[in-house]
């Protein structure tokens, strides 16, 4: 970035305080037009707060924001949109029961009062085609995968003519394939002169996609630097203020007997379309089987069928030798199966209830916490304090409502609770999704510890690095089918990518042979 | 987004007990203020009206006993509603459940072959079961078929009212009632004893207080109560944890309807000694109990206090009617205003207003 461009956005000593914390503490930096500018930092570093100020959701307590050299007071998202700023939040702001087109029409000044989606569909499909963001305008939001919802959010911002697009942790819901596609879209937008602010805590992405990176730590700018003149380890040092270990020690362990066996399993998704087809796999005790794959290829349905939350249309699920096909969540949990759910906020915890209640969300009906009808709360208190201590949950006391915890603490609470039931099998759905580097490493470490104790783990994750770094075997899921199961390290990342794109393993092997021959 | 105003609305992290109390008291004050305007519009001096209201409720032993008597059905039905609201089951049907309880008790008293010494316990038992059955219908419809609970519980009230009108005008019409739409008087073995010369049927009152304690215990210390709290907050998490929404909902409404049913038993066995026109029988206790439960903030023990408060408004409203010549409906206006202000103030508990600092 040697050619000097005009500063499009300038943050000047922006300060934002919340009760008890300073979220932004004198933030100053500039964003150039036509660049991809990463905002890098751990959870709680103040990235999202700063962008919410730019988008008009919050107002800064001190400092100013300049757009194209002029100071603006952006006092509402409406104003931000007028100024050509669009934002895609980490937690999508879409009306679940409405269609894609209706969501785009919502709040759009140009939409007509009668049949608001009339002209939208055509232009929407045009935009979608232009950027390769495939969506069905008639689909209801609740039927879409996270990746598809994100596409709708991006299209909505583009539809409103966003020149500056803020993306808050966009890849946390995407798979490698989808991430690559998103990056292509970002490149296209950049070449059209749009500016992208990319909030992330993933170093690979910063290096891959951005021109400039601003590192935030504890509400302050550590440094703004051209991506070309830095590297990952330097950035990570600046981001966390300490070195993060990227190599985890895998406990070696003899593969035990089969704990989970799935034979020819099929199931429907919410749209009543077959989401998993004739799927077979097995997990041994003391082994992590990683399920890699692009989002929306049946991962959610698979986890739900295995845990009794969804009915299978055919096939068999054997847990510890016993037929648990179409069982109930209660019976599955009684077979010593722990489940780390995909939606940790809504399924994993009950936000209004205390940590104590959340710590016994499943064990409340079992000894020693209850005998018959009565719950022994002094024992629950003890148990909760143990989980808090063992799993390093940062919380004042066990009577704190769970919704006051941060994402990493919530996940450690869930893991602590599930592990304390001494499971033989853990089904972990996206266990590190949305967590910062340190918290994610800790969760992976905890999973490896469980493996070391002989627990069988089915790890469903869209993070390919995560799957390859901690799994013993990897099964690749594509459109509800297993493309192939390989030992970890057997295939290169690119080859796994081909499986994830739908090439069966046999075909891949044949191709390689023909290349050799 | 309200951004142009000189203040900001911010979410409270964790509403404190004191904050909730303060906001509730301010809401009551607001309701009193608007009620003053109503008194004034009727040509009564609001100060006098409130004085009459207060002395009508607490002016002497008899007045206090009237307050307690009115509070009794509110306590029973209110405690039942607390558990329903805890489960986020919006039971608007306590009135109908209460009437069904009264109906079942009347059947036991007048037509059943149950021997005299067992009449009173049988009336409470059948009253509970009838109210519970009435409550289980909407519970089943919601938990199995996803039908809106507010609508079904409300509509069931009208069915109950008409069912009782049919009975007292038709098959159960009393032979010694000069053609009035009443059943015959209950035999003396089916009448609840009262305290001295008052109308306080103390057995019902004791049942109410015991139920408040038991239900508090049930919600906070037992496994079914745990399921009620979890499913009430997050059905998805409850399902994930292997709880049955259907089972829990049925249990909640069994208790909620049953409590309202027993309130109805108390009214016919303790006060009226016959089944009669629902409007005279209940005075809308089932509806007022909604406000009682709401003001108690989902705590069954608090219902003991809030039911007395509304009992006082009923008793005082009766006194106003006599001394100031105001219509008795004034208590309905009063109750309505209080509910209106309470629900309106709800937002202040989880949010706070902060004045913007000048930049």
> Could you tell me if A241 and A234 are in contact, meaning their C-beta atoms sit under 8 angstroms apart?
no
The reply to whether residue A361 touches residue B241, judged by beta carbons under 8 angstroms, is yes
pLDDT of residue B305 exceeding 50? yes
Q: Would you say the ipTM is above 0.85? A: no
Of B14, B230, B359, the CB nearest to A361: B230
Q: Does A93 touch chain B (CB under 8 A)?
A: no
User: Token pair for residue A42?
Assistant: 């751990």
Residues of B in contact with A403 (CB under 8 A): none
Buried b or exposed e, range A433-457, using 16+ CB within 10 angstroms: bbbbbbbbbbbbebbbebbeeebbb
> Could you tell me if A309 and A299 are in contact, meaning their C-beta atoms sit under 8 angstroms apart?
no
Q: Does B226 touch chain A (CB under 8 A)?
A: yes
The reply to whether residue A357 touches residue B4, judged by beta carbons under 8 angstroms, is no
Contacts within 8 Å (CB) and 24+ apart, A504-509: A508/A484
- How far away is chain B from the Cα of A280, in angstroms, using its nearest Cα? 24
For the residues B332-353, what does the mean pLDDT come to? Answer: 80
The Cβ-side half-sphere exposure at B148, using a 13 Å CA radius, reads 5
Looking at residue A115, its pLDDT comes to: 74
Q: Does B240 touch chain A (CB under 8 A)?
A: yes
Q: At what angle do helices A176-191 and A120-131 cross, to 10 degrees?
A: 100
Parse chain A into domains and list their residue ranges.
Answer: 7-240, 255-336+423-517, 347-421
- How far away is chain B from the Cα of A513, in angstroms, using its nearest Cα? 47
Going by C-alpha positions, the residue among B109, B78, B106, B114 that lies closest to residue B260 is B78
**Helix, strand, coil shares, percent, chain B, to 5:** 75, 5, 25
CB pairs under 8 A between A and B: 84
Best B242, B354, B359 member to test A by mutation, with max A CBs in 10 Å, is B242
Q: Does A76 touch chain B (CB under 8 A)?
A: yes
3-class secondary-structure state, position A198: strand
Protein fold of B45-325: ABC transporter involved in vitamin B12 uptake, BtuC (1.10.3470)
A255-336+423-517 carries CATH number 3.90.1150.180: no
Buried b or exposed e, range B74-87, using 16+ CB within 10 angstroms: bbbbbbbbbbbbbb
Best B9, B223, B351, B356 member to test A by mutation, with max A CBs in 10 Å, is B223
Q: Does B217 touch chain A (CB under 8 A)?
A: no
Give the confidence band of B254 by pLDDT, cuts at 50, 70, 90: very high
pLDDT of residue B134 exceeding 70? yes
Of B13, B223, B241, the CB nearest to A404: B13
pLDDT of residue B77 exceeding 60? yes
CATH number, span A7-240: 3.40.50.300
Looking at residue A317, its pLDDT comes to: 96
The reply to whether residue B221 touches residue A19, judged by beta carbons under 8 angstroms, is no
Contacts of B25 (CB under 8 A, 6+ apart): none
Lowest mean pLDDT among A339-348, B200-209, B211-220: A339-348
> Which pTM does this prediction carry?
0.75
User: Token pair for residue A27?
Assistant: 């933030």
The pLDDT tens digits of the residues spanning B234-244 come to: 999 999 999 99
Q: Does A194 touch chain B (CB under 8 A)?
A: no
Residues 30 through 49 of chain A touching chain B, CB cutoff 8 Å: none
Looking at residue A21, its pLDDT comes to: 66
The reply to whether residue A331 touches residue B241, judged by beta carbons under 8 angstroms, is no
Which ranges of A293-354 would DSSP assign to H, the alpha helix?
299-306, 329-334
Parse chain B into domains and list their residue ranges.
Answer: 45-325
Separation CA B98–CA B41 (nearest Å): 34
Q: Does B14 touch chain A (CB under 8 A)?
A: yes
Of B13, B224, B239, the CB nearest to A329: B239
Mean pLDDT of the residues in chain B: 90
Residues of B in contact with A308 (CB under 8 A): 242
> Could you tell me if A315 and A281 are in contact, meaning their C-beta atoms sit under 8 angstroms apart?
no
The Cβ-side half-sphere exposure at A326, using a 13 Å CA radius, reads 9
The pLDDT tens digits of the residues spanning B79-123 come to: 999 999 999 999 999 999 999 999 999 999 999 999 999 999 999
User: Token pair for residue B355?
Assistant: 């004045």
Q: What is the pLDDT along chain A (517 residues), one digit of tens a residue?
A: 434 456 899 999 999 987 656 789 999 999 999 999 999 887 667 888 899 999 999 999 999 999 998 998 898 888 999 899 999 987 788 898 999 988 988 877 777 777 777 788 888 888 888 887 888 888 899 888 878 888 899 999 988 889 999 999 888 777 777 888 889 999 999 998 999 999 987 777 888 999 999 999 878 999 999 999 988 777 877 776 654 445 666 777 778 899 999 999 999 988 778 899 999 999 999 999 999 887 678 999 999 999 999 999 999 999 999 999 999 999 999 999 999 998 888 889 998 899 999 999 999 988 889 988 999 999 999 999 999 998 888 887 899 888 888 778 898 999 999 999 899 999 999 898 777 777 888 889 999 999 999 999 999 987 777 888 899 999 999 889 999 999 988 887 777 877 877 778 888 778 777 766 5
Looking at residue A1, its pLDDT comes to: 41
Query: Got the DSSP string for A87-154?
Result: EE-SS----TTSBHHHHHHTT-TTS-SSSTTTTHHHHHHHHHHHHT----TTSBGGGS-HHHHHHHHH
For residue A487, the surrounding DSSP H or E stretch is strand A481-487
Looking at residue B126, its pLDDT comes to: 98
The total of other beta-carbon atoms located within 10 Å of residue B45's CB is: 13
Best A17, A20, A61, A361 member to test B by mutation, with max B CBs in 10 Å, is A361
Of B4, B224, B240, the CB nearest to A347: B240
The reply to whether residue B241 touches residue A374, judged by beta carbons under 8 angstroms, is no
């Amino acid at each position: 970035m040697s050619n000097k461009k005009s500063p499009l956005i300038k943050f000047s000593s922006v300060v934002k305080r919340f009760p008890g914390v300073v979220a932004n503490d004198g933030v100053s930096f500039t964003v150039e037009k036509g660049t991809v500018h990463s905002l890098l930092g751990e959870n709680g570093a103040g990235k999202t707060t700063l962008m919410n100020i730019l988008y008009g959701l919050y107002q800064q307590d001190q400092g100013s924001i300049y757009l194209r050299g002029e100071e603006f007071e952006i006092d509402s998202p409406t104003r931000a949109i007028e100024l050509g700023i669009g934002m895609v939040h980490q937690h999508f702001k879409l009306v679940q029961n409405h269609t894609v087109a209706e969501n785009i029409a919502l709040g759009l000044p140009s939409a007509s009062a009668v049949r608001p989606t009339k002209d939208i569909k055509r232009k929407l499909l045009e935009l979608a085609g232009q950027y390769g963001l495939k969506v069905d305008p008639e689909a209801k939001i609740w039927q879409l995968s996270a990746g598809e919802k994100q596409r709708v959010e991006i299209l909505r911002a583009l539809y409103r003519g966003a020149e500056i697009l803020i993306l808050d942790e966009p890849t946390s819901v995407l798979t490698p394939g989808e991430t690559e596609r998103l990056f292509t879209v970002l490149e296209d937008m950049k070449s059209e002169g749009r500016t992208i602010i990319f909030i992330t805590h993933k170093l690979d992405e910063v290096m891959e996609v951005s021109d400039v990176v601003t590192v935030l730590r504890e509400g302050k700018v550590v440094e703004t630097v051209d991506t070309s003149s830095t590297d990952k380890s330097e950035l990570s040092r600046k981001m966390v203020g300490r070195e993060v270990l990227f190599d985890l020690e895998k406990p070696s362990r003899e593969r035990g007997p089969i704990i989970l066996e799935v034979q020819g399993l099929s199931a429907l998704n919410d749209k009543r379309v077959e989401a998993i087809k004739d799927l077979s796999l097995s997990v041994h005790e003391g082994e992590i089987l990683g399920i890699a794959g692009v989002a929306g290829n049946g991962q959610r349905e698979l986890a739900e069928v295995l845990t009794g939350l969804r009915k299978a249309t055919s096939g068999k699920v054997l847990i510890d030798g016993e037929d648990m096909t179409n069982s109930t969540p209660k019976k599955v949990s009684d077979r010593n199966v722990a489940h780390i759910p995909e939606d940790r906020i809504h399924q994993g915890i009950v936000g209004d209830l205390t940590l104590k209640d959340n710590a016994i969300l499943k064990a409340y009906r079992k000894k020693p916490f209850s005998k018959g009808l009565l719950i022994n709360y002094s024992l629950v208190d003890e148990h909760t304090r143990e989980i808090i201590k063992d799993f390093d949950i940062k919380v004042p006391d066990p009577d704190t409502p769970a919704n006051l915890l941060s994402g990493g603490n919530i996940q450690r609470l869930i893991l602590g609770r599930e592990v304390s039931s001494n499971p033989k099998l853990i089904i972990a759905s996206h266990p590190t999704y949305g967590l910062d580097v340190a918290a994610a490493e800790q969760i992976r470490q905890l999973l490896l510890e469980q493996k070391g104790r002989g627990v069988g783990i089915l790890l469903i994750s869209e993070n390919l690095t995560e799957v390859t770094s901690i799994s013993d075997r990897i099964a690749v899921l594509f459109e509800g089918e297993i493309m192939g199961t390989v030992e970890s390290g057997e295939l290169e990342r690119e080859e796994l990518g081909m499986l994830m794109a739908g090439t069966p393993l046999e075909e891949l092997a044949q191709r390689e042979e023909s290349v050799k021959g | 987004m309200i951004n142009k105003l000189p203040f900001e609305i911010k979410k409270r992290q964790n509403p404190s007990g004191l904050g909730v109390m303060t906001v509730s008291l301010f809401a009551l004050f607001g309701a009193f203020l608007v009620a003053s305007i109503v008194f004034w519009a009727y040509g009564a001096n609001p100060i006098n009206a409130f004085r009459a209201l207060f002395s009508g409720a607490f002016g002497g032993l008899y007045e206090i006993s009237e307050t307690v008597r009115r509070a009794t059905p509110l306590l029973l039905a209110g405690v039942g509603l607390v558990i329903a609201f805890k489960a986020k089951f919006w039971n608007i049907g306590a009135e109908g459940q209460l009437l069904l309880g009264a109906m079942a008790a009347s059947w036991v008293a007048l037509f059943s072959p149950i021997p005299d010494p067992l009449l009173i316990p049988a009336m409470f038992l059948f009253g509970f079961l009838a109210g519970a059955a009435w409550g289980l219908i909407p519970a089943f419809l919601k938990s199995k078929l996803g039908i809106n609970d507010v609508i079904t519980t409300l509509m069931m009230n009208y069915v109950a009212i008409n069912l009782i009108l049919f009975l007292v005008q038709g098959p159960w019409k009393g032979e010694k009632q000069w053609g009035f739409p009443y059943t015959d008087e209950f035999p003396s073995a089916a009448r609840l004893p009262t305290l001295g010369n008052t109308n306080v049927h103390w057995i019902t009152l004791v049942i109410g207080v015991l139920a408040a304690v038991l239900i508090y215990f049930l919600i906070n210390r037992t496994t079914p109560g745990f399921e009620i709290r979890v499913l009430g907050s997050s059905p998805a998490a409850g399902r994930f944890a292997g709880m049955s929404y259907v089972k829990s909902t049925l249990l909640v409404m069994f208790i909620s309807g049953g409590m309202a049913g027993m309130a109805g038993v108390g009214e016919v066995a303790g006060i009226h000694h016959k089944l009669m026109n629902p409007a005279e029988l209940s005075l809308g206790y089932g509806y007022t109990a909604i406000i009682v439960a709401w003001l108690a903030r989902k705590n069954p023990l608090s219902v003991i206090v809030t039911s007395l408060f509304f009992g006082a408004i009923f008793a005082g409203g009766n006194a106003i009617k006599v001394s100031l010549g105001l219509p008795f409906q004034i208590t309905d206006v009063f109750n309505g205003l209080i509910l209106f202000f309470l629900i309106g103030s709800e937002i202040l508990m989880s949010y706070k207003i902060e004045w913007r600092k000048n930049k």
